Amino acid sequence: MTMLRRTLRRLSAAGSLLLAAVASIAVPAARAQAPAAALDVAALRRMGEAELQSLYRQGTVVGLPPGRVRGTVLPAPGARRNAAMSVGARLVWQGKVVDDSGAMAVNRFFGVPSIKGKLYQAESWLDGGPSLILDYAETSRVYARNRDEIRLIAPGLYLGLMYARSDAQPSLSMYFVLEATP
C-alpha cells in the first residue's frame, strides 16, 4: 500500500510538472498572436517593395480630403538607407494640396505649390483595379510623363505609386505616403 501511495504521489507531481510545462509553452504562443503594430509612416519605411505592393493591392479607392496632405517619399524600399533618404527627401517634397472640388492637386516642393495634376478614378497600372489617379500629362510640362496612383491603406494613410511613362510601357519609379488628418 505504501508503495502504491508513493507511485501515485510521483505521478501527481509529474502531472503537475507536465501541466506547468505545457502552460509555459502556451503563454508565449498566445502572445505571438497579438495584433500587429499600427500601420504608420515609420512602418512603411521599413518595408520592401513586395510588402508595399501587397498593401497597395489591399487598399481602397477614396478621394483625398481638400487642403494640405502631408507627403513622405519612400525612395529605396527594403534598403537600409530608405529611412534616411526619406527624411532627407522631406526637405524637397512635402506632399500635396488638394483643391476643394477634389479634381486637382498640386505638389509642394520646398514648401511651394508647384506641379499641378488632375485627380480622377481609373484603372491601376499595377493590378488593374480601381485607383485614385493624379495625372500630370495635361497640366505640367515638367511632370507630363508621370502619373501617380493612390489608395487608402489605413485611416488617414494613403500609399502612392509614381509611374514614369516610357516608350514601351510605364515603369514604377517611386513609392510615397500621404497622411491626412481626419
Q: Residues 89, 19: one domain?
A: no
In DSSP notation, the chain reads -HHHHHHHHHHHHHHHHHHHHHHHHHHHHHHHTSPPPPP-HHHHHT--HHHHHHHHHH-B--PPPSEEEEEEEE-STTSTTHHHHHHHHTTTEEEEEE-TTSSEEEEEETTEEEEEEEEEEEE-TTTSSEEEEEE-TTT-SSSTTEEEEEEEEETTEEEEEEEE--SSS-EEEEEEEEE---
Nearest Cα residue to 160 out of 68, 95, 102:
95
Q: What local confidence, expressed as pLDDT, does residue 167 receive?
A: 76
Look up cell 480601381; give the residue.
Answer: 130
**79 and 56 share a domain?**
yes
Q: Which of 38, 41, 36, 37 is nearest to 160 (CA)?
A: 41
Residues 30 and 112 in one domain: no
Domain count, the chain: 2
CATH number at residue 63: 2.40.160
Q: For residue range 16-70, list pLDDT tens digits in order.
A: 333 333 333 333 333 333 345 589 999 999 999 999 999 999 999 999 999 999 9
pLDDT at 57: 98
Tell me, yes or no, whether 112 and 25 share the same domain.
Answer: no
Q: How far apart are CA 127 and CA 172, in angstroms?
A: 12
| Side-chain half-sphere exposure of 89, counting CA atoms within 13 A | 19
Confidence bin at 182 (pLDDT 50/70/90) = low
Distance CA 117, CA 133 (A): 9
Please report the pLDDT score of residue 181 as a whole number. Answer: 78
pTM of the model: 0.78
Cα 149 to Cα 68, 111, 179, distances in angstroms:
18, 22, 15
Looking at the structure, tell me whether residues 91 and 134 fall in a common domain.
yes
One domain, residues 112 and 46: yes
Residues 46 and 136 in one domain: yes
Same domain, 117 and 160: yes
Q: Are both 101 and 150 inside the same structural domain?
A: yes
Identify whether residues 108 and 162 lie together within a single domain: yes
Domain that holds residue 52: 41-179
The number of CA neighbours under 13 Å toward the Cβ of 113 is 12
pLDDT digits (tens, 9 = 90+) for 85-117: 999 999 999 999 999 999 999 999 999 999 999
Q: Examine the domain organization and report whether 10 and 89 are in the same domain.
A: no
Same domain, 6 and 85: no
For residues 152, 127, 140, 86, the Cα torsion angle rounded to the nearest 10 degrees is: 60
User: For the segment 120-169, what is each residue's pLDDT rounded down to a tens digit?
Assistant: 999 999 999 999 999 999 999 999 999 999 999 999 999 999 999 987 88
